Structure 1
Amino acid sequence: MTRTWVTFTAKQKALAEKVFDALSTLDALGGEEPPGEGREYRIGFADLYDYAVNPECPGGDEVERAIGHDEKLREDFHRLLEKTSLCRFPHLAAASSGPVTTREWEGFRIHLRGSHAEPSQVYIQIDLLDPSSPPPKALFVIGGERQCRKHPLPEAQEKTIQILADAESDLVKALQDNKTEVFLR
């Protein structure tokens, strides 16, 4: 049986961070030349971990690019999100027709609705259905081809997080796609 990040104690989380740092050190010792010496920087597990848990992580574009090109890194990141997220919305059944407007799972609901004032915009509303759940700080979308995007979230207001986005944005398109997995972290 696996446990999710939110069930860990502060001591267990600190220990996990030390383990992730040690794994990153092992990645660095793997014989790669450091950046700036004719080689690109290789994304290690500590980079994945920082990207997953730190809403303001620098270098997110590089991590997303690496996840898009490296299958093992993609699998590691997916497992990391599964273990550390507050909620995972799995992809929806293939029989779903049309764009997805609502996803509900494990105490959270994501609902998309068009703006009446500006038809080219969509409200993305995340409802925290369980009053004891901590509010998420970031939303991750992983598309059918395992492309990953992270979106920092604003503070919750009365157990609701609301984002106004362009109807043609990558985020809205990903949330409407039944092949997309969504993680709240």
Structure 2
Amino acid sequence: MWWKRIGVILFGLLIVSMTIGTATEAISFALAKPINPIPQPQYAVYGKEWKIDGVYYYATEYTPERVEAIATCDASGGCTLSETITKCISVTVSGDLEVSAVVIKEKLGVSIGEQICKSITCTGSCGYGEEIWFWANSEIPIKKIVQREYLVTNVGEIATSNVAYAYIKMGVVPHCRPETHPQE
């Protein structure tokens, strides 16, 4: 019977040693595994560059109407008179301009400070001795320039979340109105 007791003890020791061995193996495996929670970048950053992402219509500005010319009919049968009216603006930019003037010229085809002029011929009819007044104003479209910062890397350009907005006046549309009996 003593050999049964010894067998039970040996069997118990075998079970305990297997449990300890498995636990030791698990601990050594966990310790050997490297811990690296921060992913390493897959590219090298060479610098940052701002680019124009898009140009969109934003608003229209209207200048006040004013008299550009006054003409008098000197023909007994009445007159059809005309006047060519020219309106000009300088290209201006406001807001947060991050791109260079060279980029504006390449992308939009205009230079900051450049003068843009447009003409319109205004025509009206009046009787002998009457005056005709040519009123004119300008319509100036304002466009929104959306700019984005990019990282320049060895794998190409990567867009960042940095965005800037600028507003540009780069055009003019003249309007005219002939009037034979202007109201004061």
Structure (1/2) with the larger strand percentage:
2
Structure with the larger helix share: 1
Q: Which has the higher contact order (CA 8 A, sep 6+)?
A: 2
